[in-house]
Amino acid sequence: MSLFTKPIETARKNRDQALTDAAQWEAQAAAKRAEADQLDAGANAAILADESAAERITAQVLTLQRKASAYDQAAREARAKAADAARDSLRVEADELDKAATKKKQEAAKIDAEVDKLRAKLEEYDGCPYIRQVEESDWDAVDGRYRTTVRHHGKSFASKQEALHLTTQSQVIRYWLDEGTLPTSLGDLNDKYGATHNVLAGWRGDTPISQYGEPITDGLREAMAAITGQGEE
């Protein structure tokens, strides 16, 4: 899943425009350099035919090379601008992901509040407590195997999981911006951003960042390519 909002769209347009500008400058530089090379390749024959052509051809070649150099510089500046715009787009995306995660948490909290009210009425009416069954994991005493029994999580569970997914995507973006590399586990994210994810101490480095779904957004992949010239590291 990749989030798409107006602020993200605007930030990505700035990034893409800078990339387009860089590509155009690079194309112009390549064209001038090819023209200079072609002229230089035929220079000897032209000079042998007319010695007075030497200064003119030399001046033309140097002019073309100088233009190519100027275009190269413009392309480098555009690439740097694109990299800055890509980082800006990631910061915007991370902020938008955080906002979306907050909305999902609020949805879950609203559902839980309604459930609590209904449960209280039911317990009062029936005169006994009602507890939702949840996921249980334990060693099987018979064969010694680790088994997990999935119980009912309730209606709010999906919203809570989606909030964790969105938060993970946001944290992966911020981690890459800060560290220049992708995290290898949810433990890495907990270490940097606090205990957001439920990771057992013994499995700290073995809980993948894909625990809740795809952790790397399309925006992050595109920005990584714009900044490094490559995809995922």
- pLDDT of 5 strictly over 60: yes
Residue 183 in contact with residue 189, Cβ under 8 Å? yes
Q: Name the H helices within 157-209.
A: 157-179, 186-193
Q: Tell how far CA 84 is from the center of its chain.
A: 14
What is the predicted pLDDT for the residue at 43? 86
pLDDT of residue 4: 72
Bridge partners, 146 (sequence order)? 139
How confident is residue 232, by pLDDT bands cut at 50, 70 and 90? low
Average pLDDT, the chain: 88
| 89 Cα distance to chain centroid | 9
Predicted TM-score (pTM) of the model is 0.77
- Tens digits of per-residue pLDDT, 23-46? 999 999 999 999 999 999 988 888
155-192: pLDDT as tens digits: 999 999 999 999 999 999 999 999 999 999 999 999 99
**Residue 186 CB partners (closer than 8 Å, separation 6+):** 168, 197, 199, 207, 208, 209, 211
Pick the closest to residue 153 from 131, 129, 137, 135 (CA basis): 135
